[in-house]
Amino acid sequence: MARGIVIDEMRIRGLGVIDDAVLPLGPGFTAVTGETGAGKTMVVTGLGLLLGARADTSAIRAGAAQASVAGVWLVPEQGTVADIVTDAGGELEPAGDAAELYVSRTLSAEGRSRASVGGRPAPAAVLSSLAQELVVVHGQSEQLRLRSAAAQRDALDRFGGQPIADAVARYAERFRTWRELDAEITELTENRDRRAAEAAQLREQLTEIEQLEPEAGEDVALNERAERLANAEELRLAASVARSALSSEEGEQDVAALLAEARRALERVADAQLTEISESITDLGYRAADLALQLSGYLADLDESGPHELAAVEERRAAIGGLIRQHGSLEEALEVWRTGSLRLAELDDDGDRIERLRAEAEQARTALDDAAATLTEARTEAATRLSDAVTEELHALAMPDARLEVQVSTGAESAHGRDEVAILLAAHPGAEPRSVSRGASGGELSRVMLAIEVVIAGTDPVPTFVFDEVDAGIGGAAAIEVGRRLAQLARTSQVIAVTHLAQVAAFATNHLSVVKASDGAVTASSVTRLEGEQREAEMARLLSGLADSDAALTHARELLSLGSSATC
């Protein structure tokens, strides 16, 4: 198996018409059949939920509170898958030479969705990451996607393998470098006037700030100083009264005299407790003297200040206030002072800088041209090989006169290159090749898609392919060849195909039937692995609609014999 990855088992509960079903899958080619409305497509829907598809509450079985899907993959113990699981906090369970990965998804009727990976809760994004490493799903939507130019380019790039992957990576890196340089040049040239105005304004701001030389917190200090000077007389009176009360120079009774008198009174007696109090009074005397000294200094400062200082402070406040109004705060003005010189040097260097960038951009463009030419050459060479290989596959898929061409032409420049890739199909002799987006029927598009996957699998193996109604619009010999090619694809990858054709199911190594039962009120479906006579009966039903028709049974046995010989 490709990269040693296979989904071993899946269990579905409460999804669509499926009540509770276990799908034993495993390696090789598994065909899923069943009556119309039995819920075959719910198998693909359930697998999609496990792989991070958007949860839709309408898929929950009528009357059920929730739907759940659980899957068990066999994966290598080391590698990309193991890394994704470990990063999500999950664990792999040892299983012989491989490891088992348990993935589950639960959807409630209220719209809540929960997922777990390796036994630990995980977001749906983790499931999507795993999906890229585990499964490729092909259904009607994928056939429609093949009609898009991007999907056709991706198919060619996958077929081209590592040479194209390396060329794409080299081109993408050089494209990003050139785009960044070009964007910078555009920004500089288109905004030259704005940047010149910014430089002039910044130069003026720096000159103003340098002349003032403000200091951090100066605005707060100036406000406090102005407040003091504006109330100088009131402050002087209050400080003078307080100083006189503490220590009077005019012989008046003050705190210092009262404390001295109290201390002397206590010193006349001998008592330990009073002695301790006397010492505290002494400390108070020292403290009162210190406070009186501080008040004297405060008064001296006020005496030295005058109306002239108040005017100077107000003038400085006005200048600092101007900076604050201009920049929002003094801190932001100081930040401009600290960083403005570098910004101004950058703006003043615009002319020389543009010239340097243009020289770099020219070199980057040359490198980009070389990378684009290398990528185009690699794609053109791969396109020839892919055209021949898919054409040969189409001949084997009952389109003997079909011819597929993969054309590489010059297109719009993008991060993916300068190439426009078109897959053209000439389904009949003499017909002009036309794009599969316009010239292929549903059945032809199904076979083109299958042929491309079979060919690409040789260079870009995928662990598991899931095909939903890949046989739509075909039958007879074409259907037999589709089954044969699915069996061939199953030699290198696990293949799961939902089909309504016995010619396809005959080539499966594992045949599952979605069986519908009705109790009159509730329709429930379960999944059964078919072998022997049960499988013959299901093949007969697919062929004729009758499970017990002798002719259909004979034809069924012939198909099973053909399929068995092809898969041996």
462: pLDDT confidence band, cut at 50, 70 and 90? confident
Report the SS3 class of residue 60. strand
Which residue segments constitute the domains of the chain, with CATH numbers given? 1-139+469-530 (3.40.50.300), 195-348 (no CATH)
pLDDT digits (tens, 9 = 90+) for 222-237: 887 777 666 666 777 7
Among 146, 152, 148, 143, smallest CA distance to 469 is for: 143
At 366, list the tokens.
């040359």
**H or E element at residue 350:** helix 350-396
Report the SS3 class of residue 335. helix
Q: Count of CB atoms within 10 A of residue 513's CB?
A: 25
Mean pLDDT of 238-261: 77
pLDDT value at position 466?
Answer: 85
The whole-chain average pLDDT of the chain stands at 84
d(CA 288, CA 244): 11
Among 172, 27, 193, smallest CA distance to 98 is for: 27
pLDDT digits (tens, 9 = 90+) for 177-218: 999 999 988 887 776 767 777 777 777 788 888 788 888 888
- Of the chain, the percentage scoring pLDDT greater than 70 comes to 90
pLDDT value at position 2?
Answer: 41
Better-scored residue on pLDDT, 307 or 564: 564
**H or E element at residue 44:** helix 40-50
Q: Which amino acid is at 28?
A: G
* Neighbouring C-alpha atoms within 13 Å toward the C-beta of 127: 28
Question: Which runs of consecutive H residues, i.e. helices, occur in 231-306?
Answer: 232-246, 255-267, 272-304
Whole-prediction pTM:
0.64
- DSSP 3-state percent helix, strand, coil across the chain (nearest 5): 60, 20, 20
Better-scored residue on pLDDT, 468 or 556: 556
Better-scored residue on pLDDT, 512 or 525: 512
Window from 185-189, 257-261, 337-341, 436-440 with minimum mean pLDDT: 436-440
Mean pLDDT of 524-546: 88
Report the SS3 class of residue 100. strand
Mean pLDDT of 54-81: 87
Among 492, 495, 445, 508, smallest CA distance to 471 is for: 445
pLDDT digits (tens, 9 = 90+) for 93-123: 888 788 999 999 999 988 888 999 999 999 8
pLDDT value at position 272?
Answer: 82
pLDDT value at position 467?
Answer: 84
Mean pLDDT of 385-389: 95
- CA 122 to chain centroid, in Å, comes to 14
Report the SS3 class of residue 20. strand
pLDDT digits (tens, 9 = 90+) for 481-516: 889 889 988 888 899 988 889 999 999 999 999 887
Q: CB–CB of 16/42 below 8 Å? A: yes
**H or E element at residue 525:** strand 523-530
Q: CB–CB of 262/291 below 8 Å? A: no
Better-scored residue on pLDDT, 301 or 168: 168
375: pLDDT confidence band, cut at 50, 70 and 90? very high
Q: CB–CB of 60/113 below 8 Å? A: no
pLDDT digits (tens, 9 = 90+) for 251-276: 667 887 888 888 888 888 878 888 88
- CA 477 to chain centroid, in Å, comes to 46
d(CA 92, CA 73): 10
d(CA 523, CA 63): 11
Q: Which amino acid is at 107?
A: L
pLDDT at 312 over 90: no
pLDDT value at position 68?
Answer: 92
CA dihedral 481, 485, 490, 495 (to 10 degrees): -70
248: pLDDT confidence band, cut at 50, 70 and 90? confident
Sheet holding 434-435, edge to edge: 403-414, 417-426, 434-435
Of the ranges 383-387, 399-403, 499-503, the best mean pLDDT one: 383-387
- CA 536 to chain centroid, in Å, comes to 48
Better-scored residue on pLDDT, 278 or 231: 278
Better-scored residue on pLDDT, 245 or 87: 87
pLDDT value at position 166?
Answer: 96
pLDDT at 1 over 50: no
pLDDT at 311 over 80: no
Measured CA distances, 54 to 47, 48, 58, 116 (Å): 12, 8, 12, 15
